[in-house]
Structure 1
Amino acid sequence: MTNNSSVGRAYLLRQINFQVILVQLLVLIFLCINVLLIVTFFSKDVFYVNMRYILFAVTLLSDSLILIMSDVVLILSYFRFTMQVGMCVIMSIFLLLYTFVTPFTLTAMTLERFVAICMPLRHAELCSTHRALHCILIIHGLSSVRCIGILSIFFASASDRFYTQDRKCSVEMFILRRWHDHFRSAISQFYFLIMCITIVYSYIKITKVAKAASGENKKSTRKGLRTVILHAFQLLLCLFQLWCPLIESAVLQIDFMLFVNVRYFTYITFYLAPRCLSPLIYGLRDEMFFHALKYYALCGLYKKQ
């Protein structure tokens, strides 16, 4: 029994090591791609005076920050590093805030496509650079509501001595009562309900315009329709992320090894994957951005050719 237990622990340790290394490689690849896209965005004036590209840059910056912070928390957890709760609160503010910045920005980008296709005469007025800055403030304001609510309940429930304790840093640390988790889930579900309704409404309206369009307008409308579908798929992956803690808690009661594998799968599929789709949607599908990206990726050789 002792030998079997030792072999099992050694196998589990090797598997966890492989998983952590693979996550580091994926995060590094995604960050390099995002940095290249951000450099491309700031390379031409036409990008940062266009609302669509400005919102795209917001998703890149938000996703990059989330990738870095979540990876730091993963590494700290892997090495069993503890810190004072007060320090962990500061780190978790960014995770709680920027978890919803990307979904809200995706919804705003969907509305921008809706205005461009269904109300083309008002697009320049409604989607100006000035309106884009207001939109970014609204996105961060809505994202902060959930963060402020969770932290307010935590500060009201935790004792003063709790902040000086050394613990493993995780967002779950703020769930001191069962109803705290229900409150966090309720806000998240409400947000995603509003986002889903917005995207479905935009999809239906764009579909009607696509049926009535012809020639070059029909091609442009269908491209916008595909973009909305990809945004919906991204939001669906983000929605699944809300259910992951419930699934993981149930699996943990069954088998720890299965719990490790399930948590690894959910982190890759529902946390990393939605944040690598933005480069696919706009970095590669948008013709103007793709040519600029290709120029910088090939160090200027593309322009010469």
Structure 2
Amino acid sequence: MNSTVPVDSLNEALTKNLISFTLSFIINCINGAFVYIFCKSEVFQRDPRYVLYIHLVINDMIMLTASVTLQILTYTVRLSFAPCCIMLLILVTTNKNSPLNLAGMAVERYIAVCRPLHHTQICTVQWAYTLIALMWGVSFIPAISNVIILLITRPLIVFSKNILCFPSLTYNTSHHKTQNVVVEVLLCSFVFLTLIVTYLNVLCAAQAASASIQASARNARNTILLHGVQLLICMLSYTSPFINLTLVTAWPRERTKIFFATFLLTNVLPRLLSPLIYGVRDKKFSSQIRMHFCSKCRKSVVKRTHLKGES
């Protein structure tokens, strides 16, 4: 969620918007392939692990679309207060959803290894959808709180004006800054603690388990470690203000280029890396991808070859 006032030339603005749009389109197409695989297979739809995973993918697609849309709008049109708040509600809520989703996936792996007899009873598809609903509710609270604080602290005339729609520019009171710090610290602490506790418990279970169960425990342990990597990728968006401040202090004339580069590195690219790492690593998902898309590619090649032979 970058926050820059665009002062670029027309060519620079067009180039940046084109790069952002193209990257977001490609990333959403790749992530959309994972959603397509999930929807085509009932095996995935009956597994809470994959329900949570595909929610992470869809959430990242929504967040990427909202983030890039806001960036493009800053170069084209200023929004009135109401549509800006709706866009920011979506952006802030989905931004908080990603780490919570990773925590939920880690808990599911912990139950599968450390409470295997209860796994099928606790971790049902209904449980996964209930957890997703809870995530959205928890993430929506700080997002709507930002709007409420703005309504309380700003004069009514402000809401009739068009504004530059970025979180740090729209929500710029001291109350907003305090709330953001508190929410981010609590959120990151909760998710990190969840990952650490589940990892240590799975590690202990792997050491105490029989040889037949150790392989499953080892996979679960590696999966939770992977969630830690995914969490660090998701947290990159929180580091962009510090990166911007450091680099702009050193190179003030390159301000807009620095902001754009950090926007791509901390907001756009992580929306691809986080789902892609997990989806490609998972054997079931990767096999389904090969089966669906590689088979279609082969059929397409065979069809073109057949048509050339007839001609």
**TM bucket by the smaller chain?**
0.7 to 0.9
In structure 2, do the counterparts of structure 1 residues 258 and 237 end up closer, same or farther at CA, with 3 Å as the change threshold?
A: farther
Partner AA of 1:280 in structure 2: L
Residue 137 of structure 1 and its aligned partner are, at CA, apart by 1.2
Question: Where in structure 2 are the equivalents of 1:155-234 lying within 5 Å?
Answer: 155-234=151-230
Asked whether 1:68 is paired with 2:65, we answer: yes
Partner AA of 2:47 in structure 1: N
Partner AA of 1:27 in structure 2: S
In structure 2, do the counterparts of structure 1 residues 155 and 249 end up closer, same or farther at CA, with 3 Å as the change threshold?
A: farther
Residue 261 of structure 1 and its aligned partner are, at CA, apart by 3.5
Residue 302 of structure 1 and its aligned partner are, at CA, apart by 7.5
Structure 1 portions without partners, runs of 5+: 1-8
Asked whether 1:238 is paired with 2:228, we answer: no
In structure 2, do the counterparts of structure 1 residues 294 and 201 end up closer, same or farther at CA, with 3 Å as the change threshold?
A: same
Moved over 6 A (4+): none
The residue number in structure 1 matching 2:279 is 283
Residue 25 of structure 1 and its aligned partner are, at CA, apart by 2.6
Distance 1:82 1:19 in 2: 18
In structure 2, do the counterparts of structure 1 residues 226 and 268 end up closer, same or farther at CA, with 3 Å as the change threshold?
A: farther
Q: Does structure 2 conserve the Cα–Cα contact (< 8 Å) formed by 1:185 and 1:242?
A: no
Distance 2:210 2:266 in 1: 38
3-state SS of 1:95 partner: helix
Aligned residues: 293
Structure of greater relative contact order (alpha carbons < 8 Å, 6+ residues apart): 2
Residue 104 of structure 1 and its aligned partner are, at CA, apart by 0.8
| TM-score, length-scaled by structure 2 | 0.85
Partner AA of 1:156 in structure 2: I
Partner AA of 2:201 in structure 1: K
For each residue in 1:15-71, what CA deviation from the matched residue of structure 2 results, as whole angstroms up to 9, or x when unmatched? Answer: 665444333232121101111111110111111111001111111111111111111
For each residue in 1:206-233, what CA deviation from the matched residue of structure 2 results, as whole angstroms up to 9, or x when unmatched? Answer: 1122223454432222222222112112
3-state SS of 1:99 partner: helix
Residue 150 of structure 1 and its aligned partner are, at CA, apart by 1.3
Distance 2:156 2:167 in 1: 19
Asked whether 1:271 is paired with 2:267, we answer: yes
Distance 2:247 2:174 in 1: 18
The residue number in structure 2 matching 1:118 is 114
| TM-score, length-scaled by structure 1 | 0.87
For each residue in 1:51-92, what CA deviation from the matched residue of structure 2 results, as whole angstroms up to 9, or x when unmatched? Answer: 00111111111111111111111111233x212122211211
> How much is the aligned-residue C-alpha RMSD, in angstroms?
2.4
